[in-house]
Amino acid sequence: MTSLTAIAAVPDFAALLQRQRTFFASGATLPLEFRRAVLQSLRKSLVNSEKPLLAALYADLRKPPQEAYAAEIGMVLSEIDYALKHLKAWMKPRRASVPWMVWPGRARIAPRPLGVSLIIGPWNYPVQLLLLPLIGAIAAGNCAVVKPSELAPATSDAVAALLGDAFSAEHVACIQGGRVSSEALLSERFDKIFFTGSSVVGKAVACAAAKNLTPVTLELGGKCPVIVAPDANIPVAARRIIWAKAINAGQSCVAPDYVLAHESIRSQLIEQMIAAVRAMFGENVQKSADYGRIVNPRHFDRLLNYLKEGAIIAGGQNDPSDLFLAPTLLENISPGARILDEEIFGPILPVLPYNDLSEAVQFIAARPSPLAVYLFTAEPAARRQVEQIRCGAICVNDLMVHLFAKKLPFGGIGDSGMGSYHGKFSFDGFTHYQTNLQCSAAIDPSFRYVPPKLSLQRYKQLLSRLLRW
């Protein structure tokens, strides 16, 4: 039996959502001028909030200022500018051809906002991964409720202040809090839910959305593998792998999760990766101003347990009081180890050998679909073989940089997510493309009505012509 105290502790968001539905129904969010104005307001507030955001990101994750600006603020500003530049074209209805069956009809496809959206953000990139989908939502003409992660509390406060300055609550509202707030929001009816987080929670979000047949975009995790072929540029591959793994101390959904290195170059690759760590962060990584920290003790302890599942090649230094864990390379991992099945989400990188590319491809394909697959090679045949892997994206000779290409969709498949966003794909994710067909009553052929006046053979011939474009 639920206590009265527990009932009182559950937030009631019905009044807020009703205010947003009323505002949306007024048509205020529809004009181009309004959408441009709120995007510009968000941009202004983001620029004005740069210092408190950088301070909050440092407090929550010890993010270095350059990394924090590039990955959090800079990416969002760039996305806003891109939306402002292209919004008029995105909103324009498109003409569509029609078959002779409806001649002289005219058709168009009109982009319409879905309504009131819910956006739930994660803790690892608590600015970027909350605001990027919001840009798509407001550009498409929606109202939105955004829920930042409670695991990055300083950034949650800073983002709430930023959004309170940029928007009225009936248009965009920021709800802070923990699991209780999230569950209360998910019990309400929304017209779209956008969730970024773990696959486990993503399944719960999908179940909650299914009760109201609410469409969802799920940006989830995924063990992103790196394949390093024998013809790869080893020094470049090593630097780029370490760069991608060290960003945010490995707490990125598209970070390399494990490396499959051809046996002939494995030792060389390991040497070059160790050298890359030293070149980027010095002999004592903990003293580097350019390296972040693990988000909290629970995740820190989880990562330390992974260190027991293999032999440490390099790294492994850690300090629980500082939530510091150095970039760490592992080898000799047993086949049943959890580190091969669970997303690491930290600066630990298993290095596994392979002898034939088909062996590496089969190893990846036997596991849940990753968010990205990375391949270092100059061989077209190798690229074609890896392209058969079921995954969200494939990036050749680099890692993570596909996130910056606004004309490419970003999203996963299967356990790594559903749907995509970035650029126009964000606009599309919060849009219903409505069919509008204008027919004429001046022409009304009798063959469409019963009883049929043609034989079946003649009717089939006529219909095949009338359904042509």
Here the tokens at position 222 are: 């995924």
Report the C-alpha gap between 65 and 225 in whole angstroms: 28
Query: Could you give the domains of the chain?
Result: 4-220+421-432 (3.40.605.10), 224-411 (3.40.309.10)
Give the mean pLDDT of 233-255: 98
**Residue 2 pLDDT > 70:** no
Task: Read off the pLDDT band of 9 (50, 70, 90).
Answer: very low
**Residue 5 pLDDT > 80:** no
174: three-class secondary structure by DSSP: strand
Q: Do residues 313 and 351 touch, judged by C-beta distance below 8 A?
A: yes
**Each residue's pLDDT tens digit, 20-54:** 999 999 999 999 999 999 999 999 999 999 999 99
**Each residue's pLDDT tens digit, 427-446:** 999 999 999 999 999 888 88
pLDDT of residue 101: 84
**Each residue's pLDDT tens digit, 114-168:** 999 999 999 999 999 999 999 999 999 999 999 999 999 999 999 999 999 999 9
Beta bridge partners of 147: 120
Residues marked active site are found at 219, 253
pLDDT of residue 399: 98
Report the C-alpha gap between 164 and 41 in whole angstroms: 11
pLDDT of residue 103: 85
Q: What percent of the chain has pLDDT over 70?
A: 98
pTM confidence score: 0.94
Task: Read off the pLDDT band of 1 (50, 70, 90).
Answer: very low
pLDDT of residue 69: 98
Report the C-alpha gap between 398 and 63 in whole angstroms: 23
Burial class (CB in 10 A: 0-12, 13-18, 19+), 107: middle
Task: Read off the pLDDT band of 468 (50, 70, 90).
Answer: confident
- Relative to beta strand 106-113, strand 431-438 is antiparallel
**Each residue's pLDDT tens digit, 59-109:** 999 999 999 999 999 999 999 999 999 999 999 999 999 988 888 899 999
Task: Read off the pLDDT band of 8 (50, 70, 90).
Answer: very low
Q: How far is CA 194 from the centre of its chain?
A: 9
Could you give phi then psi for residue 330, rounded to 5 degrees? Answer: -120, 150
